[in-house]
């Protein structure tokens, strides 16, 4: 039976002013580390998807104005083991990148059904640890996305 999940998602890089990046380890795939990700639901706009997924996956309640929409998207093939969640014939997803800068002492409360644990890493180490090429590439762009304002978020 096929699902009805939309092949449109967000990737949210949560980071500190010093570019420490929050990573989450997937429960279903130990060793698979990632930033916050999630699919759009119904007709919500992508910013709302980013806000909702951040709250669901980390417990961080951020205002919409706190998110930066990078106006960057990545198209990638959905892993075969997850295609049953999507309508028949859907094989690719379009992911939209956002970031959220938080204080270094921001509490994190992971969703245990989705993630085993979390950690904060310097951006270069975080880029090396994630399993997704799109996540890696976004983390590597993070210093450039701050336009010299990394210490002011």
Could you tell me the pLDDT band of residue 3, with boundaries at 50, 70 and 90?
confident
- Given a cut of 60, is residue 139 above it in pLDDT? yes
Reported pTM: 0.92
pLDDT at residue 147, rounded to an integer:
55
pLDDT at residue 152, rounded to an integer:
52
Contacts of 148 (CB under 8 A, 6+ apart): none
pLDDT at residue 102, rounded to an integer:
98
Q: What is the largest CA-CA distance in the chain?
A: 49
- Given a cut of 70, is residue 146 above it in pLDDT? no
Q: Which structural domains are found in the chain, ordered by start?
A: 8-145 (3.90.79.10)
Q: Which of 121, 32, 55 is nearest to 10 (CA)?
A: 55
Identify whether the C-beta of residue 123 lies closer than 8 Å to the C-beta of residue 135. Answer: no
- Given a cut of 60, is residue 141 above it in pLDDT? yes
Task: Indicate the Cα dihedral angle 74, 99, 84, 116, nearest 10°.
Answer: 130
Task: Indicate the Cα dihedral angle 100, 105, 111, 112, nearest 10°.
Answer: 140
Contacts of 56 (CB under 8 A, 6+ apart): 38, 111
pLDDT at residue 150, rounded to an integer:
47
Give the whole-number percent of the chain exceeding pLDDT 90: 82
pLDDT at residue 148, rounded to an integer:
44
- Given a cut of 60, is residue 134 above it in pLDDT? yes
Rg of the chain over Cα atoms, rounded to whole angstroms, equals: 15
């Amino acid at each position: 039976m096929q699902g009805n999940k939309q092949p449109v998602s967000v990737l949210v890089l949560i980071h500190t002013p010093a570019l420490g990046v929050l990573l989450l380890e997937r429960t279903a795939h130990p060793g698979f580390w990632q930033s916050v990700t999630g699919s759009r639901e119904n007709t919500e706009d992508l910013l709302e998807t980013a806000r909702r997924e951040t709250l669901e996956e980390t417990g961080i309640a951020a205002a919409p104005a706190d998110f930066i929409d990078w106006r960057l998207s990545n198209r990638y093939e959905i892993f075969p083991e997850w295609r049953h969640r999507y309508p028949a014939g859907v094989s690719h997803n379009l992911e939209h990148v956002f970031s959220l800068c938080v204080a270094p002492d921001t509490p994190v409360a992971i969703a245990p059904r989705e993630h085993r644990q979390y950690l904060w890493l310097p951006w270069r180490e975080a880029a090396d640890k994630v399993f997704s090429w799109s996540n890696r590439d976004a983390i590597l762009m993070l210093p450039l996305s701050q336009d010299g304002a990394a210490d002011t978020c």
